[in-house]
Amino acid sequence: MNKIIINDSQRLSEIKKAFSDKFPHLKIEFFSDEHKVGEANARRAMYDDSLTLKEIRKNHTSGELSIDGHQKTSTFEGNFHDHFGVTVQVFRRSGNLWLQTTTTDDWSLTHQENTGKEFDN
């Protein structure tokens, strides 16, 4: 199990890189709007990677975020929101495209990663 240290001074790009280092065929994006399990986020609500965490959240707790491959995608997204007050969405690579994992939120992160690896060109 890996952990990502989360604090206000981090750029979104740093957090995204730490996640993708663990899961190269997955990425996370940060959004201003919340979503329910199985729902997609609108691209217009996506935050720019150059922003710091402090700039996009009201809940300023710091801490570690566990990244466990056995964790459901929806659980990972929910934990991020509950602990750090930020909405994230996991995306999976499918060839040259990045797909929001809305219909596969009940899959584990490892299952998402392995599926992305299968469709990697």
SS (H, E, C) 37-85: CCCCCCHHHECCCCCEHHHHCCCCCCEEEEECCCCEHHHHHHHHHHHHC
Residue 78 has pLDDT above 70, yes or no: yes
Average pLDDT over residues 54-79: 88
| Spatial distance between the Cα atoms of 11 and 30, rounded to a whole number of angstroms | 11
Residue 41 has pLDDT above 70, yes or no: yes
Average pLDDT over residues 54-59: 86
Of residues 68 and 30, which shows the higher confidence score? 30
Average pLDDT over residues 94-102: 91
Mention every residue, 6+ apart, whose C-beta is less than 8 A from residue 16. 27, 28, 29, 49
pTM attached to this predicted model: 0.89
- 22: confidence class by pLDDT, cuts 50, 70, 90: very high
Residue 36 has pLDDT above 90, yes or no: no
What does pLDDT average to over the chain?
A: 89
pLDDT digits (tens, 9 = 90+) for 80-95: 899 888 999 999 999 8
Query: Residue 37's pLDDT is what?
Result: 66
Report the phi/psi class of residue 20: left, alpha or beta, with left for phi > 0 and alpha for psi in -120 to 50.
alpha
Residue 38 has pLDDT above 70, yes or no: no
Q: Show me where the domains of the chain are located.
A: 2-118
Q: How many residues does the chain have?
A: 121
Mention every residue, 6+ apart, whose C-beta is less than 8 A from residue 113. 23, 24, 25, 26, 69, 92
